[in-house]
Amino acid sequence: MSGKDRPKSFTQEERKSITNRYRGLLRSCRRCISKEDMKNIRSAFNHALLTHDGKRRYSGEPYIFHPLNVSRIVVEEIGLGATSIIASLLHETAKDSGLSLNDIEKIYGRQVRTIVDGLTRISGITTRVPSLQAENFRKLLLSFSSDVRVILIKLADRLENMRHLAGAPASKQVQTAWETFYLYAPLAHRMGLYSIKTELEDLSMKYTNSEAYNSIYEKLRHTTAVRNRFIRQFTEPVKKELEKQGFDFEIKARTKSIYSIWTKMKKQNAEFEEVYDIFAVRIILNSKLKNEKSDCWRVYSIVTDFYQPNPNRLRDWISVPKSNGYESLHTTVVGPGGKFVEVQIRTRRMDETAEKGLAAHWRYKGGAGEKNIDEWLAGVREILEDPAINARDLMENFKLNLYSNEVFVFTPQGDLKRFPAGATVLDFAFDIHTDLGSKCVGARINRQNASIKQALRNGDQVSVITMKNQKPKLDWLNYVVTSKAKNKIRQSLREEKQKDADAGKELLMRRLKNWKIEMTDKLINRLLKYYKTKTSVDFYYLIGAGRIEPSDIKELIYEWDRDERNQLTAKEPAEQVDGMESKNHITEDVLVIDGAIDNVDYKLAKCCNPVFGDDIFGFVSVSEGIKIHRISCPNAPQMFSRYNYRIIGARWTGSSQNTAFQVVIRITGVDGVGIVNRISDVISRDMKINMRSINIDSNDGMFEGLVKVLVPGKPRLDMLMARLSKIDGVLKVTRYDEQLEQQ
């Protein structure tokens, strides 16, 4: 780049930082690129530098840092090469500069153009319109068909954005974090990028549940020295024996992710100190390909000679790798002091595959996991290429299946099939063939009769039983877990529904003509509203299925004609406002909603009972105005993933004086005489807090209670919970979130 073309908008310090980052990128990839590649990378960097001249991130730093950082993730953490580095540098230039896709192909080649084109097409995946978001998600996955590196670079792009999300507005942070958690982290998991998946989950939790994240982070930080001493004590005898037997190896210890620890705490209803497998010890062998399996089992034997294994915690993903290509041998043993330790045994190739996923597969062609990845990608393409599949259904099912555990079953011919845990006979039948699934009435599992909803288990041999007149039914959706089966059932139900709808429409048209009533759009829309059907197909289906009588429609139309003042809404039952707390306890405006304060009708959602000081957001409901939820509300994942377009920013403002927010506190502990009085005294007498109700249940010497109180804000609530937790016999004090509301 000549001096006259060089961007002038950067400070001297920024230009120095850009140069250092670029040189760091070159050092990272120097071993895997040629001189020609180096020339093209330099050219792509210059194009990116000009394109992003003058642009800055939320944090104020130059935007050119972003493509440089993404390129380093691509090469250092995913293991891709020159083509991907060039595409990463150019991934936002095609839409922001005069450099067209044709120009990119002419300068850098067809592969770079294909990747940049794929990244450009999916750049709008974040949108406030759910149908467009789902369609962009389809585009994201369809890019598998052209080049899977599109997905890998997109994951690198999202990881880099998450690492620098702190500078973004609060509403942007939460929206991006939920999208990352529900879409990109599972996708990284399926691509076999374990470390990236783990970091995306942790970063998402940092912004959606900051309180729990910070608590676990601090506890991990303060216990580092103790863990390190224990690990040295645990590994020392194993290390000596491995050296004695001539193994070439490396031993590493890995602390579990914050999100993983938090999930275990919730699942086990345990405190941080009670989670026994905070870290794992990994033994990595430098073995020849033909000796990998036998070497791993030999090391397993050595470890279990020193430490007692838990047979229920043995996981053999070497003999049968996961569908994302993951191979490893896991066992949990009892270490020094009676502490449980997870030990992972794998080879260098397996470790590369676990950390860098698909990119490692390209490096180690012929590994056992490669076939599984190819089969999974082929299955994704088959589903995507079916035009009858609804894009939003696809997105939901895809996300649900990404994290599933797996079971392995056999066809009558002995072919091995893998399914998510919980898969049934119907899932098996639809996986073999759509017609087989549609006509399935049961199966023979291990020569025993089984129903269509029988769950499959590892090692089952399954033979499907069919009947000619069988057709998919609505309740079948409750008996399947795979996206392929769900989509095929929905497709069949839609086809049947359309047939009934066509018959219903024809019947209504014929009757209206006989009654000399014109069939107008206005009339149909009014009928749709009255019968509470979302679409005309739903309405005509009810007629065709005999659930709406044409004679009733005739009487209804005549009634409207007799009294035009009779409003349709008078016929609709009043909606029940369930699970909400209105702002009747708030005596002044303490909220800013989407930038405005005045004339905004809002309510505080009782499912999470937000109080002054909580991180919050607004949700536009259909008929109840704006609901204010905590960011950590149990409803939040569903709302952000399915109704993103109805999310608005909200924050507290002013003072919480003269306001009162209702909160439900859950208290658990050891039952004893006077425990209720002690709890009441702390709340009412010591803290001077208004207690609305208290409900304590006792069982087997333990108690659990729900206490409803009115507090002015989060600081006062935190103080109350801290005081309650100090009562003798009280073990745990938490805020209580009710079950999910129906939005």
DSSP 333-400: EE-GGG-EEEEEEEEHHHHHHHHHHHHHHHHSTT-TTHHHHHHHHHHHHHHHT-TTS-HHHHHHHHHH
Query: CA 149, CA 115: separation in Å to the nearest integer?
Result: 7
- Cβ burial of 587 (10 Å; 0-12, 13-18, 19+) is exposed
The residue type found at 123 is S
Tell me, yes or no, whether 137 and 180 share the same domain.
yes
pLDDT of residue 69: 93
pLDDT, averaged in runs of 10, over the chain (743 residues): 54 88 88 85 89 84 91 88 89 71 87 84 52 50 64 90 89 85 81 86 92 91 89 93 93 89 83 79 92 94 92 86 83 86 92 72 49 55 52 52 66 80 92 91 88 87 89 90 87 87 89 85 86 86 85 82 50 38 47 59 82 86 79 82 77 73 88 85 88 84 87 88 88 76 38
Query: CA 692, CA 707: separation in Å to the nearest integer?
Result: 8
Last residue of a domain, one of 530, 545, 571: 571
Tell me, yes or no, whether 519 and 593 share the same domain.
no
β-pair type (249-255, 616-620): unpaired
pLDDT tens profile 159-198:
999 999 988 888 788 888 888 887 788 888 877 788 899 9
pLDDT of residue 596: 54
What radius of gyration, in Å, describes the C-alpha atoms of the chain? 30
Tell me, yes or no, whether 296 and 241 share the same domain.
yes
CA neighbor of 345 nearest in space, from 287, 403, 428? 287
In a domain, 138, yes or no: yes
Tell me, yes or no, whether 228 and 339 share the same domain.
yes
Tell me, yes or no, whether 202 and 225 share the same domain.
no
Query: CA 229, CA 175: separation in Å to the nearest integer?
Result: 40
Tell me, yes or no, whether 82 and 23 share the same domain.
yes
Range of the domain at 597: 580-652
CATH code of the domain containing 675 = 3.30.70.260
3-state secondary structure 579-593: CEECHHHECCCCEEE
Tell me, yes or no, whether 25 and 107 share the same domain.
yes
pLDDT of residue 742: 37
Last residue of a domain, one of 554, 571, 588: 571
In a domain, 426, yes or no: no
Tell me, yes or no, whether 560 and 590 share the same domain.
no
In a domain, 420, yes or no: no
Tell me, yes or no, whether 70 and 189 share the same domain.
yes
Predicted model pTM: 0.62
Last residue of a domain, one of 178, 206, 234: 206
pLDDT tens profile 217-276:
999 888 888 888 999 999 999 999 999 999 999 999 888 889 988 988 888 777 887 777
Tell me, yes or no, whether 19 and 161 share the same domain.
yes
Looking up tokens 């953490």 gives 77
3-state secondary structure 256-288: CCHHHHHHHHHHHCCCHHHCCCCEEEEEEECCC
Tell me, yes or no, whether 45 and 187 share the same domain.
yes
User: For the chain, how many structural domains are there in total?
Assistant: 5
In a domain, 483, yes or no: no
pLDDT of residue 553: 87
